[in-house]
Amino acid sequence: MNDAPRPVRIAVGLWLAIAVFVLFTTAGLWFQRGEIERLSGRPSGEVTNFLVAITVVSVLFAAGYGWLTRMFLKRKNWPRIALSLMAIVHMLWLLLVGVSPAALVTLLLICVAIVFTWQARTAQWLAEVREQ
């Protein structure tokens, strides 16, 4: 990654930050389980099922971001497309689950990561490998 231009390093950092932030946000929900039960008025079992589902999806997104970022660093173009598509699905999922401050931060991070992922300097860095 030392030879990567600044936009690539920023994009990689953002994708990895999104993965970590998603995991920490999900872990935080488990600590707020009692509050979720109280606010939703749902029984404990339903809240647990909801949290398990959220956890599974979050781990899948985090693992996907991590793996695709690793592939992106190998200077392949397809992970850039896959990261963007996964990010769009993630944004839609966040909007469906419900808007919260953490969701808004995640949405902002995703938008900025997509911008850096698709900058001209990033495309040039990827194209240099194909030219060799």
Please give the tally of structural domains in the chain: 1
What range defines the domain where residue 62 resides? 6-131
pLDDT of the residue at 109 = 97
- For Cα atoms 59, 49, 111, give the angle at the middle one, nearest 5 degrees: 40
Question: What's the predicted TM-score (pTM) here?
Answer: 0.90
pLDDT above 70 covers a percentage of the chain that reads: 96
**What confidence score (pLDDT) does residue 3 get?**
81
DSSP letters, 32-79, are THHHHHHHH---HHHHHHHHHHHHHHHHHHHHHHHHHHHHHHTT-SHH
In this prediction, residue 2 carries a pLDDT of 67
Condensed to tens digits (0 to 9), the pLDDT of residues 90-117 reads 999 999 988 889 999 999 999 999 999 9
Residue 1 lies in a domain: no
Provide the pLDDT for residue 132.
53
Our CA dihedral for 98, 103, 107, 109, rounded to 10 degrees, sits at: -170
Does 68 reside within a domain?
yes
Distance (Å, rounded) from C-alpha 49 to C-alpha 90?
A: 20
At residue 4, the pLDDT reads: 86
Q: Does 28 fall in a domain?
A: yes
User: Which residues of the chain are under the pLDDT cut of 50?
Assistant: none
Cβ proximity of 13 and 23 under 8 Å: no
What is the pLDDT at residue 40? 86
